[in-house]
């Protein structure tokens, strides 16, 4: 009778230990994922900040060349700015996510903290 309860009590601590190791592994994996997401977000913001003045200047110049003296200057500035902002958001997100995607691959391979 005394042998069976001791066997059950011995198994319980080992199960708790395995759970603690699994939670520790999950926490470190979650921290690596969050680090990769922050890296990608910083890259996206950086690319949008770079693309914004370039896109605005490009579209203002393009519209000024296309319409010439047919529109008022403020219309050209407004349309060029609007199109430049849209283009900067699009290409900033695309470029930033593309060039920082390696961060997710490092997390998948398990080498996120070793670079």
Residues 43-72 pLDDT 10s:
999 999 999 999 999 999 999 999 988 889
pTM of the predicted model over 0.85: no
Q: Is residue 18 part of a domain?
A: no
Where helices occur in the chain by DSSP H, the ranges are 3-67, 73-99, 102-109
Q: Is residue 5 part of a domain?
A: no
Confidence band of 94 (pLDDT split at 50, 70, 90): very high
Q: What angle do CA 86, 88, 90 make, to 5 degrees?
A: 70
Residues 2-26 pLDDT 10s:
555 555 555 555 555 555 555 678 8
Report how far residue 107's alpha carbon sits from residue 37's, in angstroms, rounded to the nearest whole number. Answer: 10
Specify the residue for token string 């690319």: 47
pLDDT > 70? residue 28: yes
Q: Is residue 46 part of a domain?
A: yes
Q: How many domains is the chain built from?
A: 1
Range of the domain at 89: 35-114
């Amino acid at each position: 009778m005394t042998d069976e309860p001791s066997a059950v009590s011995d198994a319980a601590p080992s199960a708790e230990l395995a759970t603690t190791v699994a939670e520790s592994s999950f926490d470190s994996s979650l921290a690596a994922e969050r680090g990769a997401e922050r890296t990608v977000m910083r890259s996206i913001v950086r690319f949008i900040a770079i693309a914004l003045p370039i896109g605005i200047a490009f579209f203002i110049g393009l519209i000024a060349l296309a319409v010439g003296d047919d529109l008022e200057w403020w219309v050209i500035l407004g349309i060029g700015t609007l199109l430049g902002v849209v283009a900067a958001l699009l290409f900033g997100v695309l470029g930033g996510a593309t060039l920082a995607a390696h961060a997710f691959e490092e997390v998948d391979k398990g080498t996120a903290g070793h670079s």
